[in-house]
Structure 1
Amino acid sequence: MKAVTWRGVNEVGVEDVPEPKILNDHDIILEVGLSVTCGSDLHLLGGYIPAMRAGDVLGHEFMGTVAEVGRNVTKHKVGDRVVVVSFTSCGQCWYCKNDLWSLCDNGNPNPGITEALWGQGIGGCYGYSHALGGYAGSHAPYMRVPYADQGAFTIPDGVSDERALFASDAAPTGWTGAHQAEVKPGDVVAVWGAGGVGQMAARKAMLMGAERVVVIDRLDNRLQQVRQHIGAETLDYSDVDVPAELREMSGGRGPDVCIEAVGMEAHSTGPQYLYDQVKQQLRLQSDRPTALREAIYACRKGGTVFALGVFGGLIDKFPMGAVMNKALTLRGAQQHGHRYIPEILDLMSRDEVRTEHLATHVMPLDDGPKGYRMFKEKEDGCVRAVFRPGT
C-alpha cells in the first residue's frame, strides 16, 4: 500500500509499505479516513527528533473505520467509526490508572532512547520516531492500533469526520495544557501560538471560565480563525510589545496562566531569534525557546507557565531566575488524550467545540510531499494539510 514517509531531513516521499497485521489480541486494524499534519511533525522533518529512519510512515492525528479486530477487543467491532488518540497507552500501569496516559510504562517498546534523553521512558506515539516506539504512522490507507479498547473512541452520530479528526491530538493536547495549568474562573490566560493546539487550549480555557483569553501569533489568517471560531482575543507579536500589552490587559499584573503552544522551533522578530536559530542549526542546542522565554517573563508573579509545545532536549539562556524569584509554577506535558477525548467528542456533538476550520487544505495521499511543504511554508494560508487516503 502507498504511504507518506520520512525519507531524510526535509524530505518527504510517497512509497510502498507493508500492509499492517494484527500482532496482539488487543489490536485493531483501522481503515484510515482522514489523517492530518501536525506542527510537531515539522520537528521530525527538520531532523531535531532523534531515531527517525528512512521509510518511516508519518502521521499521528487521525480517524477512520475499524476494519479488523483482535480476539480480545471488547469495545469495538468492524465498521465502527472511531478517532484514535496519538499516544499508545496500556490502561493497566500506574500512570494510566492515574490519568497520566502519555507517560505509560508499556506503550513504548523502545524505552531506552527516552530514558537516556530524559531520565525515564514515556509512552509511544504513532509515526513519531523509534524513540517513541517506532509505530507506523497514519498517513496510509490502513494502520495497526494497539491497546484499541483504551485508545480508540467511537465518534457520535452527527459529528463529521472533519470535526472528529482533531479530537485525536490537537484538541486533547489543548485540553491537557489548560486543564493541567489549572485555569480558574476569572483568570486572564495568554496562549502563544494560534495553530490547532493553541486554538484548542484557548477554547478549553474559555470553557473553564477564564475572564480573558489572548492568543499570540503573527499570521493574519490564524489570528482571524481565533477571533471567528474560538472567540478569543489576539495579539500580533510582530506589531506590538507582547508583555506590555498583556500587562495592560490584566490590570498591570500579567496573565495568571501562560500556555506556550509553539515548541522547539519558535519564531521571533527580535535578535534572540537569530541567536537561537544559529545555535540550533549548529546543534549547540536542540530547541529554540523564544516563546517559552517570553511566556515566563510575561506571566504574573505567582502564576503558572505551561510548556505545551514539543521540546526535545536542551535549551540555552533559560530564565530560571525569573521562574524562582517570581514564584512561578512551571509545568509541561504531552497530551493525556484518553482522559479528555470523551468530553471533547460530547462537546463536538453539541457544537460547543468546532474544529473543521483547521482543515484548510484536503488532498489525497499522493500529494503528501506537497501537503507538508504547504504546511511548513504556510503557503496559501495553510493551517493544516489533511490527507484522505481513499482518494
Structure 2
Amino acid sequence: MTKVYVTGIGVISAIGNNVAENHESLVNGRTGLARDSQYFNSKYTKSHPFGEIKASNDEIAKAISVKDLTGLTRTDLIAFKAFEEAIQDAGLTSEFLSHSETGLISGSTVGGMVLTDQVFEDSNMRAKSTEFLESYDYCSHTLRLTEYFKIKGITNTINTACSSSANAIMMGARLIKSGRAKRMIVGGADSLAKFTVNGFNSLQILSDELCQPFDQNRKGLNLGEGAAYLVLESEEVADTEKIYAEVAGYGNSNDAYHASSLSEDAVGVLAAMEGALAEAGVLASEVDYVNAHGTATGNNDLTEVTGFDKLFKSIPPFNSTKSYTGHTLAAAGGIEAVFSLLSMKYGELYPSLNCSKAIEPINELPIIQFHSNQKVETVLSNSFGFGGNCTSLLFKKA
C-alpha cells in the first residue's frame, strides 16, 4: 500500500498570518490570546481572552488571489489564505489542482454562522442584503475553494466538532492509500462567532483568564479562530525534496459517553491513540512527542493524561498549543498538525504556557520550556470532539 507524505502546509491563527509567523511565536513562547478583540464583537471580549487573528477581513482579502469577494465570510477568507499558502508551498499548479485525482477534504463547525447577527436578520426576513444567504452553512468555504480552484476530484466537508480537521487529514490519507486519489488538500477553518462563544459560555467552560492546559488549577478554555491545510501526496507523485513527514497512522473512536464530555476512564482517547500506533506499526515507546488536545477544561485534560498514563510506560514530552491560539474548534486538528510538523522539521519542542502544577493523581507536567536540537521523528497529534469523537494522527519522519 502506498505511503502518504505531507508536501505542503499553510496556516493562519492568532499567533501569525502564515507558517513563518506561527513558528516564530512558538519559538518565543508568545501567545495570541488577549482581551479587547479588534474584529470580533461580543459582550464577552472585555472580560474574556480570545485567540483572534490579527488582521481585518479587508487585510486578509488583500493577501489572497480571489478578487470577487461577494458572499465571502471571514471563515471563507481565512480558509483561502491557509489553502493558498499550502498549495504554493507544495508547488501545486492549476493543472495539478484540477486533475481528477486531486481532492479536498475540509472541516468546519461554525462556517458562515460567523455572521451570527446576519443569520438572525435573514431568518426573520429583516436583512437589508441577501449577499450571504448561500454562505451560512458549514460547507460553504469548501464549495468556494472547490469552485475557485476548479477541483474535480473527491471533495467533502467534515463536521465532527473539534476533531473535524484531524478527521479530514485521516480521510485524505485513506483515500490516497486506497488508490482513490493521488493528492488531497486537507484541513479546516473556523472563525470566532457569537453563536459558538455563547454556546460554550452556556456550558460554563469559558475561562475569564488565560487558559492553563494541564494545570491542576485550570478554569476552562479560551476560544480562538484560524485555518490550516496540508497537502498530502502519494509516494508515487510526491517531490522527495518537499516532504515534511509521512502520515503513517491514524485512529478514530467514539466513546459515546456524553454529548460534551469524554469518558473519564479514557476509553475513547486510548482507542484512538492505539489505533494510530497500530496503523503505523509503531510502538508506544517510539513516540517522541505528543501534541495534545489540551483544552484546559476539567474533563478533557484529566481524561487525556489518564490516557497517556495507560498507554505509555514513560509519558513522552507533550504540550497544548491551544495556550497560544485558543481552541480553534474544527480548525484545531489542522493547526496542531502543522505545529507538530514544525517540531519535526526543526527538532524543537515548544512550551505549554501557563502551567505550573501538574494534574493529580498523574502528576505529569507538559513541556514548560523551549527545547531545540531534539529528536522529534515520531509524533502523535490528538483531537477530540463533542460526543466523544476522538482522533489521533501519527506523523513519522520520512
- TM-score by shorter chain over 0.5: no
Larger RCO (CA under 8 A, 6+ residues apart) = 2
Per the shorter chain, which TM-score range? Answer: under 0.3
TM-score (norm 2): 0.27
